[in-house]
Amino acid sequence: MAVSRRDLLKGLGGLAGLLFAGAVGVSRFPLTVTRGQTSRKKADRQWGMVVDLRRCDGCKECTGACQVTHYLSNDQEWIKVYEVETENGGTVFMPRLCMHCEEAPCLKVCPTAATFKNDQGLILIDQDICIGCRICMAACPYEARYFNWWDPPKPPGVFDNPMPEFPVPQQRGTVGKCVLCVHYTNKGRLPACVDACRMDAIYIADLTTGVMTNRSGETYQLRQYLQENDAFRYKEELNTSPRVWYVTGHGQSLDRKSQG
């Protein structure tokens, strides 16, 4: 079942990465989509995630790594870990990030088109035109969006050019969420949550090549892995077509028990 990791790592080097120029700031990524729309042009890589709940121990290292990477305040948990109950009375931990839905409700309701889908299929936010109405937060069935009520932690001076692909620092009065660390994947690096997961429970997946990998380099064919492990997509009945898959073992249904 295992395949070469090279196919996926090649994909992680797609577009040009962040260009640091001393203290002058970070160069903006070229965007290929009009705000509020879905790009008609697709990039060579289409990103998704796989979370193996059999491995997750609820340590929240993924949450902390995301907060450090994006200079988030403690109330901003772009990947939040829940404790959930299985149908047989057991409990597992379930990391929840933005699902980067194919049919994203947040994309459809944004009145200023600040929410958009890029050519890699990722849902991003342009905080320069976000008016903070929070309609998108109400529309998201996964509670994956957060409102910036206060000024965020101050990052180093080099991060003085926030952009949808690397929204650092966050802007007060706007909405923020997981961006699947596109500023890392475009440079050939793993997302922060994947790289920080000590249990190797989180995988980055390229839907184009059909390859998935985690921090330790375990690499699998995506479709085969999902089929053989009875993977599911959270709240799939809502027809949002999430790009995040979960594995519980043998298709057990889950109900949220308490927040982590």
Beta strands in 63-201 (DSSP E): 80-86, 91-96, 115-117, 123-125, 145-147, 175-177
78 in a structural domain: yes
* Alpha carbons 67 and 188: distance in angstroms, whole number: 20
Domain ranges, residue 189? 6-18+33-259
Q: Residue 227 above 90 pLDDT?
A: yes
Phi, psi of 196, deg, nearest 5: -95, -10
Number of domains in the chain: 1
Q: pTM for this structure?
A: 0.82
Q: Nearest CA to 7 among 194, 215, 208?
A: 208
pLDDT tens per residue across span 141-164: 999 999 999 999 989 877 778 899
Residues contacting 255, CB < 8 A, separation 6+: 84, 85
pLDDT, tens only, 76-126: 999 999 999 878 888 899 999 999 999 999 999 999 999 999 999 999 999
Q: Which two tokens stand for residue 64?
A: 């902390």
Judged by average pLDDT, the poorest of 20-29, 80-89, 123-132, 191-200 is 20-29
User: Do the domain assignments include residue 160?
Assistant: yes
CATH number, domain of 194, equals 3.30.70.20
**Spatial separation of the C-alpha atoms in residues 5 and 10, rounded to whole Å:** 9
